[in-house]
Protein backbone atom coordinates (compact mmCIF):
# COMPACT_ATOMS: atom_id res chain seq x y z
CA UNK A 1 0.00 0.00 0.00
CA UNK A 2 1.17 3.57 -0.65
CA UNK A 3 1.16 6.72 1.49
CA UNK A 4 -2.35 7.70 0.39
CA UNK A 5 -3.74 4.29 1.31
CA UNK A 6 -2.16 4.25 4.78
CA UNK A 7 -3.13 7.84 5.46
CA UNK A 8 -6.69 7.12 4.40
CA UNK A 9 -6.80 4.37 7.07
CA UNK A 10 -5.51 6.84 9.68
CA UNK A 11 -8.21 9.33 8.67
CA UNK A 12 -10.88 6.62 8.93
CA UNK A 13 -9.62 5.69 12.41
CA UNK A 14 -10.31 9.28 13.50
CA UNK A 15 -13.99 8.49 13.01
CA UNK A 16 -13.77 5.95 15.88
CA UNK A 17 -12.84 8.63 18.42
CA UNK A 18 -15.37 9.45 21.10
CA UNK A 19 -16.38 13.06 20.34
CA UNK A 20 -14.83 15.84 22.40
CA UNK A 21 -15.31 19.60 22.64
CA UNK A 22 -11.73 20.03 23.88
CA UNK A 23 -9.62 17.85 21.57
CA UNK A 24 -9.38 16.78 17.95
CA UNK A 25 -10.34 13.32 16.72
CA UNK A 26 -7.22 11.82 15.14
CA UNK A 27 -6.16 8.42 13.82
CA UNK A 28 -2.64 7.03 13.43
CA UNK A 29 -0.99 3.97 11.87
CA UNK A 30 2.67 2.94 12.23
CA UNK A 31 4.10 1.05 9.27
CA UNK A 32 7.46 -0.71 9.08
CA UNK A 33 10.08 -0.20 6.40
CA UNK A 34 8.83 -3.49 4.92
CA UNK A 35 5.41 -1.93 4.29
CA UNK A 36 3.61 -3.93 6.98
CA UNK A 37 1.44 -2.41 9.65
CA UNK A 38 2.94 -2.53 13.13
CA UNK A 39 0.17 -0.86 15.13
CA UNK A 40 -2.61 1.71 15.03
CA UNK A 41 -4.49 3.96 17.42
CA UNK A 42 -6.91 6.83 17.73
CA UNK A 43 -7.58 9.68 20.10
CA UNK A 44 -9.31 8.81 23.39
CA UNK A 45 -9.04 5.10 22.55
CA UNK A 46 -8.37 4.04 26.16
CA UNK A 47 -8.29 7.31 28.10
CA UNK A 48 -9.90 10.72 27.55
CA UNK A 49 -6.43 12.29 27.21
CA UNK A 50 -4.95 9.79 24.72
CA UNK A 51 -3.72 11.23 21.43
CA UNK A 52 -3.72 8.92 18.40
CA UNK A 53 0.05 8.71 17.99
CA UNK A 54 0.46 8.11 21.73
CA UNK A 55 -2.14 5.33 21.63
CA UNK A 56 -0.46 3.60 18.69
CA UNK A 57 3.00 3.89 20.26
CA UNK A 58 1.79 2.45 23.57
CA UNK A 59 0.74 -0.79 21.84
CA UNK A 60 4.19 -1.86 20.69
CA UNK A 61 7.63 -2.55 22.08
CA UNK A 62 9.05 -3.04 18.57
CA UNK A 63 12.11 -1.18 17.34
CA UNK A 64 10.54 1.66 15.37
CA UNK A 65 13.73 2.90 13.73
CA UNK A 66 13.06 3.53 10.06
CA UNK A 67 9.28 3.31 10.38
CA UNK A 68 6.62 5.71 9.15
CA UNK A 69 3.73 7.03 11.20
CA UNK A 70 0.61 8.13 9.34
CA UNK A 71 -1.51 10.62 11.25
CA UNK A 72 -4.69 12.34 10.14
CA UNK A 73 -3.54 15.52 11.94
CA UNK A 74 -0.11 17.11 12.26
CA UNK A 75 1.48 15.65 15.44
CA UNK A 76 1.20 18.04 18.36
CA UNK A 77 4.19 20.05 19.56
CA UNK A 78 2.36 21.60 22.49
CA UNK A 79 0.15 19.76 24.91
CA UNK A 80 -1.70 20.57 28.10
CA UNK A 81 -2.87 17.12 29.24
CA UNK A 82 0.41 15.16 29.33
CA UNK A 83 4.12 15.93 29.81
CA UNK A 84 5.24 14.71 26.35
CA UNK A 85 3.87 15.88 23.02
CA UNK A 86 3.26 13.53 20.14
CA UNK A 87 6.22 15.04 18.29
CA UNK A 88 8.46 14.26 21.27
CA UNK A 89 7.09 10.71 21.49
CA UNK A 90 7.75 10.20 17.77
CA UNK A 91 11.32 11.45 18.17
CA UNK A 92 11.96 9.25 21.22
CA UNK A 93 10.63 6.22 19.32
CA UNK A 94 13.08 6.79 16.46
CA UNK A 95 10.39 7.04 13.78
CA UNK A 96 12.04 8.28 10.59
CA UNK A 97 9.06 9.56 8.64
CA UNK A 98 5.73 11.25 9.37
CA UNK A 99 2.91 11.51 6.82
CA UNK A 100 -0.15 13.58 7.71
CA UNK A 101 -3.23 15.05 6.05
CA UNK A 102 -4.21 18.19 7.96
CA UNK A 103 -2.15 20.90 9.67
CA UNK A 104 -3.29 21.54 13.21
CA UNK A 105 -5.49 24.64 13.25
CA UNK A 106 -4.98 27.00 16.18
CA UNK A 107 -8.20 26.03 17.93
CA UNK A 108 -6.46 24.77 21.09
CA UNK A 109 -2.72 25.36 20.56
CA UNK A 110 -0.46 26.56 17.76
CA UNK A 111 0.49 23.69 15.46
CA UNK A 112 4.28 23.46 15.25
CA UNK A 113 4.80 19.71 14.99
CA UNK A 114 6.05 19.85 11.40
CA UNK A 115 8.75 22.36 12.28
CA UNK A 116 9.82 20.46 15.41
CA UNK A 117 10.04 17.12 13.59
CA UNK A 118 11.90 18.52 10.57
CA UNK A 119 14.38 20.34 12.84
CA UNK A 120 15.18 16.95 14.39
CA UNK A 121 15.80 15.35 10.98
CA UNK A 122 12.50 13.51 10.52
CA UNK A 123 11.12 13.41 6.99
CA UNK A 124 7.66 15.01 7.08
CA UNK A 125 5.18 14.67 4.22
CA UNK A 126 1.88 16.53 4.06
CA UNK A 127 -0.89 15.12 1.84
CA UNK A 128 -3.51 17.88 1.89
CA UNK A 129 -5.68 16.02 -0.64
CA UNK A 130 -6.93 13.99 2.37
CA UNK A 131 -7.41 16.99 4.69
CA UNK A 132 -11.19 17.02 4.19
CA UNK A 133 -11.35 13.38 5.32
CA UNK A 134 -9.29 14.28 8.41
CA UNK A 135 -11.46 17.31 9.18
CA UNK A 136 -14.78 15.45 8.89
CA UNK A 137 -14.88 13.96 12.44
CA UNK A 138 -13.85 17.37 13.79
CA UNK A 139 -16.52 19.49 12.09
CA UNK A 140 -18.15 20.30 15.45
CA UNK A 141 -14.92 22.04 16.56
CA UNK A 142 -14.56 24.13 13.42
CA UNK A 143 -17.94 25.81 13.17
Catalytic residue among 45, 53, 88, 104: 53
Task: Report the distance separating Cα 24 and Cα 101, nearest Å.
Answer: 14
Reduced to 3 states (helix: H, G, I; strand: E, B; else coil), residue 55 is helix
* Residue 4 CB coordination number (10 Å): 13
Our answer to whether residue 110 is catalytic in this structure is no
Say how far apart CA 92 and CA 33 lie, in whole Å.
Answer: 18
SS3 of residue 78 by DSSP: coil
Give the catalytic positions in this structure: 53
Amino acid sequence: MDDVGWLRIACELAGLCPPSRTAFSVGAVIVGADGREITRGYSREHDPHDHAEESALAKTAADLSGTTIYSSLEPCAERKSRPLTCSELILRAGIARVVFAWREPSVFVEGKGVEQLRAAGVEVVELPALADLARAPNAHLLS
